[in-house]
Amino acid sequence: MKLSERAEEILEAMWTAIEENGEGFAAMERIGVAADDPAFDELTKRAFIEIKEGRITFRPEGKKEGRSTIRRHRLAERLIMDVLNIRGESGDNKACQFEHLLNEGVDAKVCTMLNHPDTCPHGKAIPSGDCCLEARRSGDLGVVPLTELKSGEEGRIAYIQTEDNKKMQKLVAMGVLPGNPIHLLQSSPSYIFRVGYSEFAVDAEMAREIFISRLQG
Amino acid sequence: MALFRRRRRRRSSCHAPFADGVCGAKKVLLVGNPNVGKSVLFNALTGAYVTVSNYPGTSVEVARGTAVIAGERLEIIDTPGMYSLLPITEEESVARRILLEDSPDMVIHVIDARNLERMLAMTIQLIEAGLPVILVVNIMDEAERQGITIDIPLLSTRLGIPAVGAAIAKKRGLSEIREIISHYRRPVHPVPEYSRRLENDIAEVAGLFRNRFTISPKAVALLLLQRDQEMTNLVRVKEGEGFAAVEAKIREKVYARRESFHLDLSLERRKIAERLLSGVFHVPDKRRTTFGEKLSRWAVRPLTGVPLLLVVLYYGLYQFVGVFGAGTLVDFFEGKLFEGYFNPWVTGIVKDAVPWPVIQELFVGEYGVITLGLRYAIGIILPVVATFFLFFSILEDSGYFPRLALLVDRLFKKIGLTGRAVIPMVLGFGCDTMATMVTRTLETVRERIIATLLLSLAIPCSAQLGVIMALLSQAPGALLVWFICLLLIFLAVGVLAARIIPGETPMFYMELPPMRLPQLSNVLTKTYSRMQWYFMEILPLFILASILLWIGKITHVFEKLSDWTAPVMASIGLPREAAVAFIFGFFRRDYGAAGLYDLQTQGLLNPRQLTVAAVTLTLFIPCIAQFLIIKKERGTKVAVAIGLFVSVLAFGSGYLLNQFLLTTGIL
């Protein structure tokens, strides 16, 4: 059964206090939820938390739940702020509403789309999920801009992301087509890469718009 | 247009056996990516000469020539390089306009064997446009060296058009190409098909056309779907009222495929190319690294590239052009031949033949057409320019320039240019006028203006450079001061211009052609044709200048001019005689420098004055020819603005430098 939104917020606050700030417990009065809120009951009943004299601690099941709750929250922040480009307070608010939708596998999809981010926009760690572990295990390093490749590294062009249609045409005409293997030869002072039997030089701005899926290894 | 087309057809098959000129001459168009060898093929077919270079985008102009193949006269047209039928740059638009408007009888698509798959995309476009395509797979020799094999007959069968494997620079495949041209019959062949969805979209658009175009409705529809402005305008005019329906349909389709139409189209074309090439094109698993590639690596890594550049500059520019060209050769031509033999001899002849001293002056006097004009042109300028162009052509053909471009790109971005501007900048050291013309290849107007400004200000041309180097080398330290001044001004003006002139610095991208050993014959022809251009350009001006100077002298206008400019000269610490050099300088930069040379030999200048004069003169307004080209390329307003700015800056810098040198007493 799905937890209530309030219950999820309690778990998040606990995670921050206990797992990240290293406190032994979360103080009831600092959690931001009224003590008589039914959410506490809900969590206790499901054996997620224990409350003793205003001190809340995780039970094993609850810790797992807290971890995935905080993960959803921070993924939501990434999505709202990075992709939808909603910033500031309104971004925070939207992320808070959005996180509750990221369950039942949606979080894994979002995580993969965001290329398994390590941190939230505020710089806090996002606990890795199964999808991240799987990606790490299979050596799928995800899709990165050409600028992230080391010189000598090879990959496959994943997509080109540019606002400028002419530039897209030029790149495409030069053979920078999704699916083509690409070999980065040098990254300074300009980016030099090889596609097929031709070599091209582009500057950093242009290289940033060519996205590469790295080969395993 | 349909009517026009039919008429052309009939004309092109008119039966006059040795039809001359345009009537009846079939048109053969050469198209293809940049740097695949179109110009080499043009030269081979016509026997004429267009500049061939190992630098993408050098054929800015369209070259037309005639070839006689199997007794038939043909018109051969070389076009600037294009990547696809949808143009992006100005050169590509030029090339496409010819393709669309010239109704060619044959279109030879030249492609690079090593990049067959990529370049076949354009072959597909040409075929679907209904053009009479002949495919020339060039650079087979280099492909074979890398272990690539291509089944040309199979490719030809699959495409349904004639195809030839060639290495045109080595004359391989030429006879086959001639053979195909002479027997060319337009084959009936299927046009490659796209996915059902795309074909439907195309058909829906093409179905609305009521008129015919020079290219197939399918190609027109595709260009419209790609929002090609020129094609849209053309269709708007031709379709008249019917255009509204076409436009509505285009809007609908473009919206429906807004996500990635260009990309989808390219991917579909690649899929077709892959299908065509399966079993045709074999690449070895392991690519071989050639020596050229190794050299290329060295040239582009800053750690090895910068020393390599210094070596190239030292031996090429300083030793070869400076010491050998401007030193040894000038000494020989100017000192020995002209001063020693030719001038005294010709003076004797003229004085015997012409009794009037005034007319004698015109030919053999102080500013005589022969003794001064010809001596400057042949004795001083020719050796310097010849050695420079030789040096430049070797570098150009080796493929070094694109590497240099990427090496300096970041630096050039600071002065509002991209690495692409390296060609006009280096060429400027040869001839600023020529370089100003080449700024056309730069992408934005802003870049072109900045490059033009820097060329007219701080880049001395080889002739001027040679004379100035010879002059200043006699005063130790002077050359260094001169060099530092120019470098500082170049950078300062560049940085300022980049800030002041509105607009953004475009992005830098460039194809790197393989590094090759330059072919001697090509280098020599290229040097020769450049020199020829240069000479045709300067000789009349030298003679004109001599005549004007002569008029100035006999009417004493010249002395008055010297009087008027004396205060200006005095303000920068120069004797009034130096005015002559500046007046010369307006005709030709090098002429002015050569004027200084004369002053110096007369012992009229001390090292400080010499340095100030050299700096001022180097910065001073561009010569007449360059000024005219700036006017032609950039418009009168920009030309006048640059002229004024440069003059003020030149004398301003001269003044400051003079004060600085006086106070510090360095020289």
Stretch B101-117: mean pLDDT: 91
Same domain, B268 and B311: no
- Contact between B6 and B47 under an 8 Å Cβ cutoff? The reply is no
- Give pLDDT tens digits for B342-382: 888 988 888 888 888 888 888 887 778 888 778 877 887 78
Same domain, B112 and B45: yes
Reading the block at residue B41, the tokens are 């093929």
Reading the block at residue B540, the tokens are 């009349």
User: Which amino acid would we find at residue B134?
Assistant: I
User: Which amino acid would we find at residue A31?
Assistant: I
Same domain, B120 and B258: no
Same domain, A103 and A23: yes
- The confidence score (pLDDT) of residue B52 equals 56
Contact A197 B263 (CB under 8 A): no
Lowest mean pLDDT segment, chosen from B9-23, B247-261, B609-623 = B9-23
Same domain, A131 and A148: no
Same domain, B406 and B533: yes
Same domain, A109 and A11: yes
Q: How far apart are CA A12 and CA A6, in angstroms?
A: 10
Please state, as a whole number, how many other Cβ atoms lie within 10 Å of the Cβ of residue A95. 23
Lowest mean pLDDT segment, chosen from B5-9, B445-449, B621-625 = B5-9
Chain B CB within 8 Å of residue A194 CB: no
Same domain, A10 and A103: yes
Same domain, B230 and B265: yes
Chain A CB within 8 Å of residue B419 CB: yes
Phi/psi for A155 (5° steps) reads: -165, -170
Burial class (CB in 10 A: 0-12, 13-18, 19+), A58: buried
- The confidence score (pLDDT) of residue B1 equals 33
Q: Is the pLDDT of residue B197 over 70?
A: yes
Q: Domain of B248: which CATH number?
A: 1.10.287.1770
Same domain, B320 and B277: no
Contacts (Cβ under 8 Å, ≥6 apart) of B310? none
- Domains held by chain A: number: 2
Same domain, B257 and B205: yes
Chain A CB within 8 Å of residue B409 CB: yes
- Contact between B447 and B506 under an 8 Å Cβ cutoff? The reply is yes
State which residues form the domain around A93.
1-138
- The confidence score (pLDDT) of residue B10 equals 36
Q: Which one is predicted more confidently, B628 or B70? A: B70
- The confidence score (pLDDT) of residue B28 equals 94
> 3-state DSSP helix/strand/coil percent for chain B, to nearest 5?
65, 5, 25
Q: Which one is predicted more confidently, B243 or B285? A: B243
Same domain, B344 and B225: no
Reading the block at residue A52, the tokens are 């003793």
Q: Which one is predicted more confidently, B223 or A36? A: B223
Closest chain B residue to A200 measured between Cα atoms? B511
B148 in a domain, yes or no? yes
CA distances (Å), origin B72, targets B19, B38, B651: 8, 21, 61
CA B167 to chain centre: 24
Q: Is the pLDDT of residue B589 over 70?
A: no
- The confidence score (pLDDT) of residue B152 equals 95
Read off the pLDDT band of B49 (50, 70, 90): low
- Strands B163-165 and B133-138, bridge-based pairing: parallel
CA distances (Å), origin A100, targets A79, A125, A142, B110: 13, 19, 26, 59
CA distances (Å), origin B105, targets A216, B37, B121: 51, 21, 21
Chain A residues in contact with B510 (beta carbon < 8 A): 200-202
Q: Is the pLDDT of residue B2 over 70?
A: no
CA B517 to chain centre: 21
Chain B CB within 8 Å of residue A151 CB: no
Q: How far apart are CA B441 and CA B629, in angstroms?
A: 15
SS3 B563: helix
pLDDT mean across residues, chain B:
84
Chain B residues in contact with A197 (beta carbon < 8 A): 112, 114-115, 143, 146, 148, 287
State which of B247, B282, B317 marks the end of a domain.
Answer: B282
Q: Is the pLDDT of residue B79 over 60?
A: yes
Q: With both helix axes pointing from N to C terminus, report the angle between B624-634 and B445-458 in degrees, rounded to the nearest 10.
A: 170
B598 in a domain, yes or no? yes
Spell out where chain A has E strands. Answer: 26-27, 49-52, 55-58, 143-145, 154-160, 181-186, 191-195, 198-202, 210-214
Contact A190 B407 (CB under 8 A): yes
- The confidence score (pLDDT) of residue B8 equals 36
Same domain, B338 and B267: no
Same domain, A19 and A37: yes
Read off the pLDDT band of B649 (50, 70, 90): very high
Q: Is the pLDDT of residue B57 over 60?
A: no
Q: Which residues pair with B65 in a beta bridge?
A: B76
Contact B118 A186 (CB under 8 A): no
B188 in a domain, yes or no? no
Neighbour-count burial for B290-314, b at 16+ CB within 10 Å, e otherwise: eebbebbbebbbeeebeebbeebee
Chain B CB within 8 Å of residue A201 CB: yes
- Give pLDDT tens digits for B399-416: 899 999 999 998 999 999
State which of A108, A138, A168 marks the end of a domain.
Answer: A138
Percent of chain B's residues with pLDDT above 90: 31
Same domain, B245 and B364: no
Q: How far apart are CA B17 and CA B1, in angstroms?
A: 28
State which of A86, A117, A138 marks the end of a domain.
Answer: A138
Q: Which of B140, B204, B128, B149 is nearest to B176 (CA)?
A: B140
Same domain, A62 and A86: yes
- Give pLDDT tens digits for B555-564: 887 678 778 8
Q: Is the pLDDT of residue B13 over 50?
A: no
State which of B182, B208, B223 marks the end of a domain.
Answer: B182
State which of B153, B182, B211 marks the end of a domain.
Answer: B182
Q: Is the pLDDT of residue B317 over 70?
A: yes
Q: Is the pLDDT of residue B60 over 70?
A: no
Q: Domain of B15: which CATH number?
A: 3.40.50.300
Q: Domain of A210: which CATH number?
A: 2.30.30.90
Q: Which one is predicted more confidently, B152 or B47? A: B152
CA angle A177, A165, A111 (to 5 degrees): 65
Stretch B388-399: mean pLDDT: 89
Q: Is the pLDDT of residue B111 over 60?
A: yes
Q: Which residues pair with A27 in a beta bridge?
A: A55
B120 in a domain, yes or no? yes
217 residues of chain A, pLDDT tens digit each = 578 888 888 888 888 888 888 888 888 777 777 777 888 888 888 888 888 887 888 888 888 888 888 888 888 888 888 777 777 778 778 888 888 787 777 888 888 878 788 888 888 888 888 888 877 776 656 678 898 888 888 888 888 877 777 777 778 877 888 888 899 999 888 899 998 888 899 999 889 888 888 765 4
Reading the block at residue B26, the tokens are 């079939």
Burial class (CB in 10 A: 0-12, 13-18, 19+), B172: middle
State which residues form the domain around B247.
196-282
Same domain, B270 and B319: no
Same domain, A42 and A73: yes
Give the 3-state secondary structure of B253-316. Answer: HHHHCCCCHHHHHHHHHHHHHHHHHCCCEECCCCCCCCHHHHHHHHHHCHHHHHHHHHHHHHHH
Q: Domain of A69: which CATH number?
A: 1.10.10.10
Chain B residues in contact with A169 (beta carbon < 8 A): 84, 86, 88, 262
- Contact between B412 and B442 under an 8 Å Cβ cutoff? The reply is no
B346 in a domain, yes or no? yes
Burial class (CB in 10 A: 0-12, 13-18, 19+), B529: middle
Q: How far apart are CA A4 and CA B322, in angstroms?
A: 84
DSSP A162-196: -S-HHHHHHHHHTT--TT-EEEEEE-SSSEEEEET
Ordered alpha helix ranges (H), B327-399? 330, 343-353, 357-364, 382-398
Q: Mutate which of B85, B91, B266, B444 to test chain A, going by most A C-beta atoms within 10 A?
A: B266
State which of A121, A138, A155 marks the end of a domain.
Answer: A138
- The confidence score (pLDDT) of residue A183 equals 92
Q: How far is B89 from chain A (nearest CA, A)?
A: 9
CA distances (Å), origin B326, targets B229, B241, B301, B365: 51, 67, 32, 25
Read off the pLDDT band of B92 (50, 70, 90): confident
Read off the pLDDT band of B502 (50, 70, 90): confident
Contacts (Cβ under 8 Å, ≥6 apart) of A78? A114, A117, A120, A121, A126
Same domain, A53 and A112: yes
Same domain, A131 and A199: no
Give the 3-state secondary structure of B615-640. Answer: HHHHHCCCCHHHHHHHHHHHCHHHHH
- The confidence score (pLDDT) of residue B203 equals 94
Instruction: Indicate the Cα dihedral angle A164, A166, A171, A172, nearest 10°.
Output: 110
Same domain, A121 and A61: yes
- Domains held by chain B: number: 3
B291 in a domain, yes or no? no
Q: Assign residue B329 a region: left if phi > 0, alpha if psi is -120 to 50, beta otherwise?
A: alpha
- The confidence score (pLDDT) of residue B182 equals 92
Same domain, B205 and B177: no
As a whole number of angstroms, the longest Cα–Cα distance in chain A is 72
Q: How far apart are CA B94 and CA B88, in angstroms?
A: 10
Helix (H) or strand (E) holding B611: helix B607-619
Same domain, A134 and A173: no
Same domain, A65 and A128: yes
Percent of chain B's residues with pLDDT above 70: 93
Q: How far apart are CA B122 and CA B137, in angstroms?
A: 13
Stretch B270-292: mean pLDDT: 85
